[in-house]
């Protein structure tokens, strides 16, 4: 065994103090010290086992240490791991063609990049290429698109996560050309509505506001609107097809490039290849990332046939934008998803989890709203289901207590804290493992809120 690996395996909790002063942790919700993972489980350095409902920032669709992913990577590193973007390499051709096949018919040209924020910026650059006269962008309240300088302006939770401006907000004024408009947060609309359960009214008001900002609120033409088709970090907020179609129509009418940030939702989390496949609506540009490389870093921009893409002029260039290891991992993952009907698994097991969570909601009024498509699941915790006052503390306790019960939940949402518990396990989660999730979730509810 390599001495570095030996040292990692033998590392003890007490050793951490020696190393801690040297490390800057940039962000994330504090967790435990993890050593290894297998299937949908992870183990900390003391050997404790956890069922991981975060898939590590929703990035491991096939879970941990998938033998076929490991094998293909071993074989690829014997060939190469890094040839620069300018060289014509085979895995990139194979992957671009495969991506064009699985996403909607008109989404056919792919550029590979690295890092979500930078890839959103690449998409914004493509919008500018297509709308050179325009310089403004539109984003949604509660959207999240990364923390690079430019995307900070588009990312609401990055600047408002705890209710006061902090972190990214100190950078946001460098990227003022984002106009944020409300999206339909049906459970908690951003404005007063005559009937809070009237989703159509919420859609209509949001679409009206979008069009008003385009017409009257922008200091010049708008180049692009960037949005997540389902908001993840903002609180697992699902939009209606009616709203998504309305946005597309408005963008088309005003000659605005529509960018869907599919970084969290593509490659199967919804039980479909992407939100565009799921809703039957195609944007002009899709941005991919996270789960794409089965744990290896890779992102991509996919554009529709109707718009112009980048040329080899360096407008968007990344040293590690052509990583063959990530590319073969991405190819293998798509092959496994197709072969093992993983999309079908997500639909079936996701529907089961949703139904069981709805059943639990009847006994636990703290579960204010359950929002789920496939394995994109969120539970919004409230102090009182009538007033819908968010329970940030209750949700945080669910995550903390989950660790004690051997389960890792994510948290999200905007406001003064995070009131939405995220249950987003790897897509290979079986029906039996779903029962294990439900059992641990119920135990955690009991521990936090009492019987
Ligand atoms: C929807 C969405 N867009 C963009 C990003 C940023 O991606 P990255 O962290 O790779 O920069 C994230 C990360 O959580 C995301 O969820």
As a whole number of angstroms, the distance between CA 322 and CA 88 comes to 10
CA–centroid distance, residue 95 to ligand 1 (Å) = 21
Please identify, by atom number, the ligand 1 atom nearest to the C-alpha of residue 289: 10
The preferred substitution site among 114, 144, 299, 300 for testing ligand 1, maximizing ligand atoms within 8 Å of CB, is: 144
Per cent of the chain over pLDDT 90 is 86
Residue 29 confidence (pLDDT) above 90: no
User: Where does CATH 3.40.640.10 sit in the chain?
Assistant: 69-339
Cα of 288 vs centre of ligand 1, distance in Å, is 9
Q: Which atom of ligand 1 is nearest to the CA of 233?
A: 16
Question: Count of residues for the chain?
Answer: 451
Model confidence over 259-303: pLDDT tens digits?
999 999 999 999 999 999 999 999 999 999 999 999 999 999 999
Atom of ligand 1 nearest to the CA of 262: 1
Indicate if the pLDDT at residue 163 is higher than 50: no
Round the average pLDDT of the chain to a whole number and report it: 94
With a cut of 90, say whether residue 26 has pLDDT above it: no
Containing H/E element for 356?
A: helix 342-363
The minimum-distance atom of ligand 1 relative to the CA of 115 is 10
Q: How far is the CA of 101 from the centre of ligand 1 (A)?
A: 24
Ligand 1 atom with the shortest distance to the CA of 57: 14
The yes-or-no verdict on residue 167 having pLDDT over 70 is: no
Spatial CA neighbour of 295 closest among 125, 42, 97 = 42
| C-alpha 300 to ligand 1 mean position (Å) | 12
Q: Which of 15, 61, 173 is nearest to 424 (CA)?
A: 61
Ligand 1 atom with the smallest distance to the CA of 287 is: 3
* Residue 417 burial (10 A CB sphere; 0-12, 13-18, 19+): middle
Q: Is the pLDDT of residue 178 over 80?
A: yes
Q: What does the pLDDT look like over 139-152, one tens digit per residue?
A: 999 999 988 888 87
**Considering only CA atoms, which residue is closest to atom 9 of ligand 1?**
116
The 3-state DSSP composition of the chain as helix, strand, coil percent (nearest 5) reads 40, 20, 40
Between CA 357 and CA 236 the distance in angstroms is: 15
Mutate to test the pocket of ligand 1, among 58, 59, 112, 116 (most ligand atoms within 8 A of CB): 116
Which residue is closest in CA terms to ligand 1's atom 7? 116
Residue 148's nearest CA partner among 324, 266, 314, 289 is: 289
pLDDT exceeds 60 at position 161: no
* pLDDT band, very low/low/confident/very high, at 157 (cuts 50, 70, 90): low
- Minimal-distance CA residue to ligand 1 atom 8: 116
Atom of ligand 1 nearest to the CA of 297: 10
Q: Which residues lie with the beta carbon below 6 Å from any ligand 1 atom? A: 57, 115-117, 144-146, 228, 232-233, 261, 263-264, 289
* Residue carrying structure tokens 């103090």: 17
- The number of the ligand 1 atom at minimal distance from the alpha carbon of 117 is 11
Closest of 165, 208, 163 to residue 183, by C-alpha: 208
Query: Among 325, 330, 323, 344, which Cα is nearest to 430's?
Result: 344
Work out the number of other CB atoms within 10 angstroms of the CB of residue 182. 17
Instruction: Calculate mean pLDDT across residues 410-427.
Output: 93
pLDDT tens for 326-348 read 999 999 999 999 999 999 999 99
Cα of 364 from ligand 1 centre, angstroms:
32
Q: What is the DSSP string of 372-420?
A: EETTEEEEEEEEETTTTEE-HHHHHHHHHHHHHTTEE-EEE-SSSS--E
- Phi first, then psi: give them for residue 23, nearest 5 degrees: -110, 135
Which one of 145, 158, 318 would you pick to mutate in the ligand 1 pocket, going by the greatest count of ligand atoms within 8 A of its CB?
Answer: 145
Average pLDDT over residues 321-327: 97
Closest Cα to residue 347, out of 377, 376, 374?
374
What is the 407 CA–ligand 1 centroid distance (Å)?
Answer: 23
pLDDT bin (cut points 50, 70, 90) of residue 182 is very high
Query: What is the edge-to-edge ordering of all strands in the sheet holding 34-38?
Result: 34-38, 41-44, 49-52, 407-408
Diameter of the chain measured on Cα atoms: 67
The fold of 69-339 is 3.40.640
What's the 123 CA to ligand 1 centre distance in angstroms?
14
Looking at the predicted structure, is the pLDDT value of residue 159 above 60? no
Atom 10 of ligand 1: nearest residue by CA position: 116
CB atoms within 10 A of CB 387: 9
Q: What separation in Å is there between the alpha carbon of 450 and the centre of ligand 1?
A: 35
Distance between CA atoms of residues 85 and 321, nearest Å = 6
- Where along the chain do the CATH 3.90.1150.10 domains lie? 3-60+341-449
Distance from C-alpha of 358 to C-alpha of 159, rounded to nearest angstrom? 32
Which DSSP letter does residue 383 get? Answer: E
Q: How many angstroms is it from 54 CA to the middle of ligand 1?
A: 14
* Closest atom, ligand 1, to C-alpha of 228: 1
For 3-60+341-449, the fitting CATH number among 3.40.640.10, 3.90.1150.10, 3.40.190.10, 2.40.70.10 is: 3.90.1150.10
Which run of H or of E encompasses 97?
Answer: helix 90-102
Q: Do the beta carbons of residue 170 and residue 195 sit within 8 Å?
A: no
Token pair for 103: 């996403």
Cα 103 to middle of ligand 1, angstroms: 20
**CA-based nearest residue to 66, from 448, 444, 334:** 334
- Position in ligand 1 atom list of the atom nearest CA 290: 10
Give the Å distance between the CA of 140 and the centre of ligand 1.
15
Closest Cα to residue 344, out of 429, 422, 231, 262?
429
The protein residue whose alpha carbon is closest to atom 3 in ligand 1 is 145
């Amino acid at each position: 065994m390599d001495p570095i690996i030996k040292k990692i395996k033998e590392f003890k909790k007490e050793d951490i103090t020696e190393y801690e002063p040297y490390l800057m942790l940039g962000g994330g919700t504090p967790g435990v010290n993890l050593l290894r993972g297998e299937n949908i489980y992870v183990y900390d350095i003391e050997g404790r086992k956890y069922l991981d409902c975060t898939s590590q920032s929703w990035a491991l669709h096939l879970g941990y240490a998938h033998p076929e992913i490991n094998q293909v990577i071993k074989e690829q590193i014997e060939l190469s791991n890094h040839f620069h973007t300018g060289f014509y390499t085979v895995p990139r051709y194979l992957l671009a063609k495969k991506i064009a096949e699985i996403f909607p018919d008109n989404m056919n040209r792919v550029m590979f990049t690295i890092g979500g924020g930078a890839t959103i910026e690449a998409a914004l650059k493509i919008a500018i290429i297509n709308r050179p006269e325009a310089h403004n962008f539109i984003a949604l309240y509660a959207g999240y698109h990364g923390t690079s300088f430019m995307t900070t302006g588009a990312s609401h939770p990055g600047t408002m996560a705890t209710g006061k401006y902090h972190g990214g907000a100190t950078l946001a004024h460098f990227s003022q050309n984002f106009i944020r408009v409300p999206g339909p947060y049906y459970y908690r609309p951003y404005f007063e509505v005559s009937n809070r359960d009237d989703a159509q009214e919420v859609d209509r008001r949001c679409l009206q506001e979008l069009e008003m900002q385009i017409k009257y609120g922008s200091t010049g033409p708008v180049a692009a609107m960037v949005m997540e088709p389902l908001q993840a970090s903002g609180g697992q907020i699902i939009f209606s097809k009616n709203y998504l179609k309305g946005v597309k129509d408005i963008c088309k009418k005003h000659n605005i490039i529509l960018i869907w940030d599919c970084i969290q939702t593509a490659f199967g989390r919804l039980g479909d290849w992407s939100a565009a496949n799921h809703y039957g609506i195609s944007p002009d540009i899709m941005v991919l990332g996270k789960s794409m490389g089965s744990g290896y870093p890779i992102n991509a921009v996919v554009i529709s046939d109707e718009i112009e893409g980048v040329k080899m002029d360096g407008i968007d260039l990344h040293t590690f934008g052509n990583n063959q290891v990530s590319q073969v991992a991405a190819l293998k993952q798509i092959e496994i998803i197709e072969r093992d009907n993983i999309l079908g698994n997500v639909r079936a097991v996701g529907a089961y989890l949703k139904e069981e969570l709805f059943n639990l909601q009847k006994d636990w009024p703290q579960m204010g709203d359950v929002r789920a498509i496939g394995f994109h699941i969120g539970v919004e915790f409230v102090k009182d289901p009538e007033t819908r006052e968010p329970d940030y503390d209750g949700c945080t306790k669910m995550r903390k207590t989950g660790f004690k019960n051997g389960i890792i939940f994510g948290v999200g949402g905007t406001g003064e804290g995070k009131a939405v518990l995220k249950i987003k396990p790897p897509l290979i989660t079986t029906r039996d493992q779903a029962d294990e999730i439900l059992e641990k979730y119920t135990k955690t509810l009991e521990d936090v809120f009492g019987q």
